[in-house]
Amino acid sequence: MKSIQMKFVLFIVVYIALILLVSCSNQLTSMTNKEVKYLIGVSQPNLIEPWRVVMNDEIKQYADTYSDLRVIFTDGGNDSKQQEEDLYKLMGFGIDILIVSLDDPILLTPTIAKIYSKIPVIVLGRGVTGYDYTLYIGTDNRLIGSKAAEYAKQLLGTEDNRIVEILGLQGSPTVEERSEGFREALLDRPDIAITQSIYADWQRDKSEDELTSSLETETDIDLIFAHNDAMALGASLALKNKGLSGVKIIGVDGVKGENGGLNLVKDGTLIGTFTSPTGGGEAIRYALDILNKEKGIPKKIILRSHQITGGNINVYEEMQSSAQRKPIRLITEAEPIKIGFAQVGVEGGWRLAHTNSVITAAKEEGIELLYENAFLQQDKQIEIIRKFIASKVDFIVFSPVVKTGWDEVLQEAKLAGIPVILSDREVKVSDDSLWTSYIGSDFVEEGRRSARWLIQEMKDVTEPVNIVELQGTKGSDPAVGRKQGFEEIINNELDYSIVQSLQGDFTIETGKQLMLEALANYGSDIDVVYSHNDDMALGAVEAIEQYGLKPGKDIKIISIDATRAALKALGIGKLSFVVECNPLLGPQLMKAVKDYMAGKELPMKIITSEGVFTQETAKRALATWEY
């Protein structure tokens, strides 16, 4: 009896213990689930460069502010094969999103494309080619190169100047862009020669070794431009070992830390550097937006680079300290944010959608919008901007009719302390601090995407391919970019030729008139029309029908914009392929305006994410298409 009692007590104890254990482990599981909502993988190509250490620190610091995020970091040890293995290892851990900075972007692009087919991918710092990634965050490398050249020109005398350029990894797009920007900007100075180009793979030690061996035969150097501060430091060590002084060294990166560019400028090792923000904090912020399926995620975020010299380093550091970032002014119902919006024109359906998006978004955010239209005239647009300056608006927003000719009026806006946001089109001015931010498309990429589709579509055609190009407004950003991107791809194909490139203005009327002209010249020899926008493409459809041919069948038509009218025409086969250019920029614009007023630094460029359409996908998209 006693033993039965004992057994019963034992049973009860074990039972209670089991219940406690199960409930405890459930709690643990639910706690773990609650704790780790998202697992983020961060793959670095190396951690030798101080810039990458700072990037990881920023990622960690920002991620630590969220209790439900976990981040796993890997270090590729400067070896693309190792980085590829790391990437698959991270996938094996079940990461929800990948943040990657690439060792060799050319080698690793296919791996990134594979991962992107499974999870979102944010590429930091060094871009991949194509469109197979979720978001790119980086700087404008061509601009950094050209700013470095402008600085070098100021520093050098007027006779017989010799520069050594120390580049990162050969073949990397970042390196090509920095170098091209640098060289192009030196073209107007025949007294400056780049006497040597040394590839040092972004590494301090390699830079030191390579320069040391080159100094054995040549020591006549006035200035060194190194593509990053680590290599700039390596160069300075080589010069020091050789006992050479007086060579000015310009670097790129400008990060904090013992061997970071800011310290190197302070201690005089570098004469100057150009900041290349790592984008670590932005990467986490956007990773969360992507994982939480927020709308309006951009395709590219381009961060602004600042020139740092001994003369401005203290001001720069003060500006960077968060304590200094204060809201611009108090916003009340009586005194809401006031924007002056100088729209470019009323060319067609796309522009109407753009105008409506800005007006509606301002209304929704309680922002006062002064709206005026320049009807495609630059003089008128300048006059409107001057009017807004006189009205002391908080912001000026405009879509420039052409790229050039804005220096003076933007200088006036700057003097009046009014920030300028470029909505949908960029300008070309001598000083990029004349505008605060650009929000819109990547027109060059739109041109490339059009050409890539054409080459794929015509891959079995053995005859030469004759193309007619209908260009948008002369000198406008979209016309220049779309032409450039299309030609960049087409020029590699021997059998493709643009038989006629005609100057239009984005309207349906010119599209029709120019197409009639092309048909009169080339008739049915035309295989393809590449139109810089939908309105001109729809005009071309009318012209081709009038001529007695079938648009989309006898002549393929590629267009850009993706308005409803164009998607309908594509759905019934009158157009062949449409690349999206998103006009619904109002919400992102208002967000930028509010961020700026709250004291945040805006990215230099926010590039929208855009799709492409074939006949099938166009039909499906039409059901919900907004413009």
Q: Binding to ligand AHR by residue 347, rule CB under 6 A?
A: yes
Contacting ligand AHR (CB under 6 A), which of 221, 362, 581, 590? 581
Residue 568 CB, shortest distance to ligand AHR, in Å, is 16
Binding test (CB under 6 A) with ligand AHR, winner from 561, 562, 569, 585? 561
- Nearest CB to ligand AHR, comparing residues 506 and 547: 506
Tokens of 573: 């086969």
3-state secondary structure 331-400: CCCCCCCEEEEEECCCCCHHHHHHHHHHHHHHHHCCCEEEEEECCCCHHHHHHHHHHHHHCCCCEEEECC
Instruction: Name residues contacting ligand AHR, limited to 256-285 (CB under 6 A).
Output: none
Question: Do 608 and 587 touch, CB atoms closer than 8 A?
Answer: no
Q: Which stretch binds ligand AHR (CB under 6 A): 104-112, 183-191, 345-353, 359-367?
A: 345-353
The nearer residue to ligand AHR, 369 or 536, going by C-beta atoms, is 536
Q: Does 355 bind ligand AHR (CB under 6 A)?
A: no
- Per-residue mark of binding to ligand AHR, 398-437 (x: CB under 6 A): --------------------------xx------------
DSSP class per residue in 82-139: HHHHHHHHHHHTT-SEEEE--SSHHHHHHHHHHHHTTS-EEEESSPPSSS-SSEEEEE
Name the minimum Å distance from CB 518 to ligand AHR.
20
Contact between 533 and ligand AHR per CB under 6 A: yes
- Count CA atoms within 13 Å of residue 1 on its CB side: 0
As measured in angstroms, the least distance from the Cβ of 498 to ligand AHR is: 19
Distance CA 348, CA 161 (A): 52
* Structure-token pair, residue 390: 């006189």
Q: Other C-beta atoms within 10 Å of 8: how many?
A: 10
Q: Minimal distance in Å, beta carbon 103 to ligand AHR?
A: 36
Ranges assigned E (strand) in 211-334: 223-226, 248-253, 272-275, 300-303, 307-309
Number of residues that bind ligand AHR (CB under 6 A): 13
Residue 449 engages ligand AHR in binding (rule: CB under 6 A): no
Interface stretch with ligand AHR, choices 36-44, 247-255, 348-356, 448-456 (CB under 6 A)? 348-356
**Residue 506, SS3 per DSSP:** coil
Measure the CA–CA gap between 133 and 299, rounded to whole angstroms.
Answer: 8
Within 478-497, the residues that bind ligand AHR by CB under 6 A are 478
Q: Which range binds ligand AHR by CB under 6 A, 27-35, 43-51, 154-162, 343-351?
A: 343-351
Cβ at position 358, least distance to ligand AHR in Å = 13
Give dist(CA 523, CA 528) in Å, integer.
12
Interface with ligand AHR in residues 136-175 (CB under 6 A): none
Cβ neighbours of residue 213 closer than 8 Å, sequence gap 6 or more: none
Q: Is 86 in the site for ligand AHR (CB under 6 A)?
A: no
Nearer to ligand AHR by C-beta: 265 or 479?
Answer: 479
Q: Does residue number 351 form part of the binding site for ligand AHR (CB under 6 A)?
A: yes
Q: Residue for token digits 């197409």?
A: 515
Q: Could you give the 3-state DSSP secondary structure of residue 161?
A: strand
Q: Does 471 bind ligand AHR (CB under 6 A)?
A: no
Residue 554 Cβ, how far from ligand AHR at the closest point, in Å? Answer: 25
d(CA 141, CA 176): 9
Q: Where do we find the tokens 């050249």?
A: 149
Q: Residues interacting with ligand AHR, by CB under 6 A?
A: 347-348, 350-351, 424-425, 478, 506, 533, 535, 560-561, 581
